[in-house]
Amino acid sequence: MIMSRVQVAELFEAASAGGYAIPHFNHSDFWDMSAIAEAAQESKAPIFIACLPKVIDAIGIEKLGAVGKITMEQSKTPIIYHLDHCHNADICFAAIDNGYNSVMIDASHSSLKENIETVKKVVQYAHARGVHVEAEIGQIKSAGDEGNTVISGKATADDARVLVKETGVDALAVAFGSEHGFYTHKPELDFELLRQVRQVVPVPLVLHGGTGIPEEDVRRAIDNGIRKVNVGTHIRCTYIGAVKQAIEEMGTQTHTADIMAFAKDQVKTVVKQWIKTCRADGKS
């Protein structure tokens, strides 16, 4: 089924009541998308499948939206098809028009005032069409960025409160020490900041940069109010690494479908691990 904004909110309420987070997995094409969807159904877990604007540039929004819609319709467990880290409101509108039922407008690089204005525009368009919106406060950096980005990018609880109050956004990604990609140092999550944000922000909070955060810290974040955990790099590197391994073992004359069957299995294993880490299978 294709979930409306209200139904997505109900999923988050269930996650909150059950003490788990809804996992979010980034995909790059249709092979990894189907691997993620199959793993979620086999684990009986609700998930987000997300793509970055980069993937839209490569494949096209109509094709992605159409396949996303079919994937959601055919799934026996809730799947939400999401646009991740979009800096451009117009691309959010196009995604909404093409069947995405969740978008992230990321204007976290701009001032609080501009962030609010941009998020407001997207919220207005999305909510009129029953679509869920996520925003970001503070700046979640990429591992490998120069300088001490972990400290400089952190959110403040008051900015988070104001952004949510002013925009009516549905979920909030909070910069509290996580980074995208693989860490070159041990990630230090600021749980005190997370607790402060949770006290003043009524919407579900999102942990970005799940890859590389130790399981105990992900669990601790969930116990402190995180309701969505984003995993991108771990999926992508597993996928590409598995394709490489399959080609090395089976040779370049092997049919694409056979190479991808191997890669899909590897991706499914990682997706299932993350579902367990998030306790989203209801058993972990």
CA nearest 207: which of 273, 156, 134, 147? 134
CB of 128 to Zn ion, least distance (A): 26
How many residues of this chain interact with Zn ion, rule: CB under 5 A? 1
Q: CA–CA separation, 170 vs 235, rounded Å?
A: 26
Tell me whether residue 208 or residue 264 sits nearer to Zn ion (CB atom): 208
CB of 51 to Zn ion, least distance (A): 12
How remote is the C-alpha of 133 from its chain's centroid? 12
Q: CA–CA separation, 226 vs 245, rounded Å?
A: 35
Could you count the other beta carbons within 10 Å of the beta carbon of residue 118? 21
Tell me whether residue 75 or residue 108 sits nearer to Zn ion (CB atom): 108
CA nearest 50: which of 260, 230, 267, 181? 230
Nearest residue to Zn ion, scored by beta-carbon proximity = 208
Tell me whether residue 167 or residue 178 sits nearer to Zn ion (CB atom): 178
The burial class, CB within 10 Å (0-12 / 13-18 / 19+), for 146 is exposed
Active site (annotated) includes residue 84: yes
Site string for Zn ion, 176-215 (x = CB under 5 A): --------------------------------x-------
Q: CA–CA separation, 178 vs 142, rounded Å?
A: 9
State which of positions 208-227 bind Zn ion (CB under 5 A): 208
State which of positions 228-247 bind Zn ion (CB under 5 A): none
Residue among 32, 84, 106, 190 flagged as catalytic: 84
Tell me whether residue 101 or residue 178 sits nearer to Zn ion (CB atom): 178
CB of 230 to Zn ion, least distance (A): 5
The burial class, CB within 10 Å (0-12 / 13-18 / 19+), for 249 is exposed
CB of 126 to Zn ion, least distance (A): 19
Residues with a known catalytic role: 84
Which residues contribute to the site for Zn ion (CB under 5 A)? 208
